[in-house]
Structure 1
Amino acid sequence: MNMFSTAKTPSERRQALRAALAAEPIVRLPGAFSPLVARSIEEAGFEGVYVSGAVVAADLALPDIGLTTLTEVANRARQIARATDLPVLVDADTGFGEPINAARTVTELEDAGVAGCQLEDQVNPKRCGHLDGKEVVTTEQMVRRIGAAVSARRDPDFLICARTDAAGIEGMADAIDRAHEYAAAGADLIFPEALHTREDFEMFRRAVPDVPLLANMTEFGQTELLTTRELEEIGYDAVIYPVTTLRIAMGHVEQALWEMADAGTQAGWVDRMQHRSRLYELVRYADFNVFDQNLFTYRPKT
């Protein structure tokens, strides 16, 4: 038993993601900010893991304005992909530069063992998709970005997701036109960012009927939170919850720290903590213990 890598190869996980997108039900990808969270996502029965650029930035105490580097994102993605047999989809922002940078981004993320990456059509450096003041590149520039990414992948099953932020800037008609252009350029999955209502999601699906679509159910943004059943009824193929686990964790961390500072003890939070025994289950402590007890690395000379 290899406890330091997954049971499934990167190729197998990429194939699994493509198969899931082509079938029913909808593919659910909660965001993971650490390998341990990714393992929890797998044990909870989800179909995939999402690595949000906003979350990687936030975990480094940085705003989501294009400050993170390819190295930082690829390293976090590699750590997360190592910890789960689920396919991992990584937010690669604008590809970290020009089309040639997007090509290198795909190569690095392929080497990291993830199942695919998402590229967006914002101007570099980007900003959070649910904030005002965004700008998008021309359709032609984004098509070049996608083309470079597609040409750089060595595994044809590595998935390229194209996100468009155009709906809130140029209007829904432009976002729909871009979706068709991006799919024609080789994008496997289209992600219309910051749609507002169920009616918006329905309109987009009707206008783009033959391409897999991804919905973003992020909190505190511009999008009405729809259930997986509603998204399936509309015809979406995947849904991400990019920042949810980080917000849950940080909400509790901050509350607990304030109460500890006031009370002088963490005792009031013990019943709300993850128990030591559960943590040991997630990190597979027992397996490592057995492995160590049966491994002989040194024999004294006789």
Structure 2
Amino acid sequence: MRYGNALRDEITLPGTTPLIGIYDMHSASIAARHYNGFFVSGFGFAASHYGLPDIGFVAWPDMVGFVERLRPAFPEHHLLVDIDDGYVDHEVACHVVRRLERAGASGVVLEDQKRPRRCGHAEGKAVLPLDEYLAKLELVLAARDDLVVVARTDATEEREILRRAEALAKTSADVVLVDGIRSTELVREVRDVLGNKPLLFNQIAGGKSPRLSLSELDELGVNVAVYSTPCLFAAHDAIDRALVELKKEDGRLPNTTEEGGIGVEAATRLLERNLGGHRPVRSEVPA
């Protein structure tokens, strides 16, 4: 299956395509029941695999290894992967792109940040000179076969955002992302300078960007929306609340049969789906 073309086709459909941020195989197993597209975010990966913030600790072999585990379990899901700045060096970036494509990734996101890098919704970001980033981007584009490539800018000043967006629109990148974009007005301006180039919008709870529905994003001309951390943050909250309750009950576990919670039977049923590859439940996938 040509996973890049499948995602490309989805992006051309009417409406905004949602891709849900997952951080491990278990979160992917749950998300797969509701959506047919995943996003492997740098934030979620750094948190789950290293217990560290999203400031450049991700090692590319770990990311490739994760995708190699994801794809056999979810053979029909779109799988967009955050590769940060391509792990600094352009030769490494090209190698990682080839490895991810062989592993079954649908696409990658390549940013223009320079080290030390930051989460796209954090303060203190700095970007590479545009020519330097464009040179790296062109090498990555030449290295891929079918893979979707999202060109991402982390510029923060409005004039520079629009200058870079216009430059990215002229490349053969499939999609453009302005990360940490702060207003719907600026989304509209970016949409205008991109012309027909698809636009991606990144939403993260507590981030810099406005909270917008898929309908609102569609009205703004956004083609793809990635939700970086809903699973990670939900797990954070649920685990904390469960352990507070366990301590309150003097270590007595809840009765999941009576209280409708998740127990070993329900968890096992979910994970058994991965034995033969999880097929998305079409009736549960938003239109």
* TM-score, length basis structure 1: 0.84
Partner Cα distance (1:75, 1:282) in 2: 22
1:130-145 pair list within 5 angstroms:
130-145=121-136
AA at the equivalent of 2:272: R
The structure 2 residue matched to 1:261, chosen from 247, 253, 256, is: 247
Q: In the alignment, which residue of structure 1 is the partner of 2:186?
A: 200
1:113 Cα shift? 1.1
Tell me, yes or no, if structure 1 residue 213 matches structure 2 residue 202. no
Residue aligned with 1:216, SS: strand
CA shift digits 1:53-93 (9 cap, x unpaired): 11110012011110111011111222222221211000000
Task: Return structure 1 stretches of 4+ with deviation > 4 angstroms.
Answer: 285-288
2:42 matched residue in structure 1: 53
**Number of residues of Structure 1 aligned to a counterpart in Structure 2:** 272
Cα separation, 1, equivalents of 2:129 and 2:189: 23
Listed as ranges, the gaps of 5+ residues in structure 1 are 1-8, 289-302
Q: Distance in 2 between matches of 1:208 and 1:78?
A: 33
Q: After the TM superposition, which residues 262-277 of structure 1 pair with which residues of structure 2 at under 5 Å, given as runs?
A: 262-268=248-254, 270=256, 271=259, 273-277=261-265
Conserved 8 A contact 1:27-1:47: no
Question: Is the partner of 2:55 in helix, strand or coil?
Answer: coil
1:272 Cα deviation (Å)? 5.9
Partners of 1:40 and 1:69 lie apart in 2 by: 26
CA distance in 2, matches of 1:286, 1:49: 15
The equivalent residue for 2:173 is: 187
- Matched-pair contact (CA < 8 Å) for 1:87–1:115: yes
Instruction: Give the superposition deviation at 1:269.
Output: 7.2
Note the alpha carbon deviations across 1:127-156, whole angstroms, 9 max, x for none.
Answer: 111111110001101101111111111x2x
- Following TM superposition, by how much is the alpha carbon of 1:287 offset from its aligned partner in structure 2, in angstroms? 7.0
Asked if 1:112 is matched to 2:88, the reply is no
Is the contact between residue 38 and residue 83 of structure 1 (CA under 8 Å) also seen in structure 2? no
Alignment partner of 1:284: what SS? helix
Please tell me whether Structure 1 or Structure 2 has the larger radius of gyration of its CA atoms: 1
Which of these residues, 60, 64, 74, is aligned with residue 70 of structure 1?
A: 60
1:163–1:193 CA contact under 8 A, matched in 2: yes
Structure number with greater CO (CA < 8 Å, separation at least 6) is: 2
1:281 to 2:269 alignment: yes
Identical counterparts, % of pairs:
28
Cα distance in 2 for residues equivalent to 1:286 and 1:141: 42
Q: Report the Cα offset of residue 16 of structure 1.
A: 1.5
Question: What is the deviation of 1:285?
Answer: 6.4
Find the residue that maps to 1:55 and give its secondary structure: helix
Instruction: Return the TM-score normalized by structure 2.
Output: 0.89
C-alpha contact (below 8 Å) 1:35/1:81 kept by paired residues? no
Confirm or deny that 1:251 pairs with 2:241: no
Change (3 A) 1:287 1:201: closer
